[in-house]
């Protein structure tokens, strides 16, 4: 296999894998509650759903930089019987329309309804999709043809970081002032402008 060295930055790379890499896209993978909207615990209706301030310009900028956008969310509220899958889908449809009116296209939304202590019998189980497991991250990488190493996950819980790291996501950004314990490989960001600074910018 041919190996070569890029003159301008000294990174080495494999020619073949770089060709494949050129076809793959950067992804910005987002937790929902605490990142897209304020986390009020089991948000199941439009009335409870309040967009985080500055999330629209943040997502629009990421999109302009070539990131594909995906929302990956644990929704144990369905297993617990607080709201139904149909309620979640209706809320998601409305959320996507609001984002769309602000010029933001979400490429993929994945939700895990299951929980081992759920009330709904068919959803009372462990799931590989449920963060901290990496199922939704791996699935989004495959469905959107992402390069995980050049992709970013932003979440507000340790389980988000664990899911992203297990799936080989290159930049794991934690936006939660209340979590102070040291976390290896995690970049802490106070807000969306810090998140943007921490994200690889292909145009910089
Ligand atoms: Mg969250």
Residue 11 has a pLDDT of 35
Which helix (H) or strand (E) element contains residue 90? helix 85-101
In a domain, 143, yes or no: yes
The pLDDT of 153-178, averaged and rounded, is 98
In a domain, 97, yes or no: yes
Model confidence at 5: pLDDT above 80: no
Percent of the chain with pLDDT over 70: 89
Domain that holds residue 54: 33-198
Backbone conformation region of residue 54, classed left if phi is above 0, alpha if psi is from -120 to 50, else beta: left
For residue 160, indicate whether it is catalytic: no
At 69-102, the pLDDT tens digits run 999 999 999 999 999 999 999 999 999 999 999 9
A 10 A CB-CB count for 128 gives 12
Weakest mean pLDDT among 18-27, 99-108, 111-120, 135-144: 18-27
Using CB atoms within 10 A of its CB, is residue 84 exposed (0-12), middle (13-18) or buried (19+)? middle
Give me ligand 1 centre to Cα 72, in Å. Answer: 10
Q: Which of 14, 33, 107, 156 is catalytic?
A: 33
Euclidean distance between CA atoms 37 and 48, whole angstroms:
9
Euclidean distance between CA atoms 95 and 27, whole angstroms:
19
In a domain, 173, yes or no: yes
In a domain, 77, yes or no: yes
Domain of 180: which CATH number?
3.40.50.1000
pTM, rounded to two decimals: 0.89
Q: List Cα–Cα distances, 25 to 116, 143, 152, in angstroms.
A: 34, 11, 11
For residue 31, indicate whether it is catalytic: yes
Tokens of 25: 């896209």
Euclidean distance between CA atoms 121 and 8, whole angstroms:
58
Average pLDDT, the chain: 91
Number of domains comprising the chain: 1
Q: Which of 14, 31, 64, 177 is catalytic?
A: 31
Nearest in space to 146 (alpha carbons), one of 25, 17, 20: 25
In a domain, 116, yes or no: yes
In a domain, 149, yes or no: yes
Q: What is the DSSP track for 106-169? A: --EEEEE---TT-SSGGG-S--TTSTTSSHHHHHHHHHTTB-GGG-EEEESSHHHHHHHHHTT-
In a domain, 26, yes or no: no
In a domain, 3, yes or no: no
């Amino acid at each position: 296999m041919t190996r070569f060295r890029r003159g301008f930055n000294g990174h080495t790379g494999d020619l073949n894998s770089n060709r494949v890499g050129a076809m793959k896209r950067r992804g910005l993978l987002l937790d929902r509650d605490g990142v897209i909207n304020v986390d009020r615990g089991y948000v199941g209706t439009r009335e409870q759903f309040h967009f985080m301030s500055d999330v629209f310009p943040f997502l629009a900028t990421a999109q302009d930089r070539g990131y594909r956008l995906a929302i990956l969310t644990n929704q144990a509220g369905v297993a617990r019987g607080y709201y139904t899958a149909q309620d979640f889908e209706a809320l998601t449809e409305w959320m996507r329309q609001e984002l769309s009116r602000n010029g933001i296209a979400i490429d993929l939304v994945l939700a895990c309804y299951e929980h081992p202590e759920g009330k709904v019998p068919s959803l009372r189980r462990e799931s590989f999709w449920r963060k901290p497991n990496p199922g939704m991250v791996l699935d989004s990488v495959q469905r959107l043809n992402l390069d995980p190493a050049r992709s970013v996950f932003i979440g507000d819980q340790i389980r988000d970081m664990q899911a992203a790291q297990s799936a080989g996501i290159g930049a794991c950004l934690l936006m939660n002032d209340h979590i102070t314990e040291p976390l290896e490989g995690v970049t802490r960001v106070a807000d969306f402008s810090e998140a943007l600074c921490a994200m690889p910018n292909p145009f910089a």
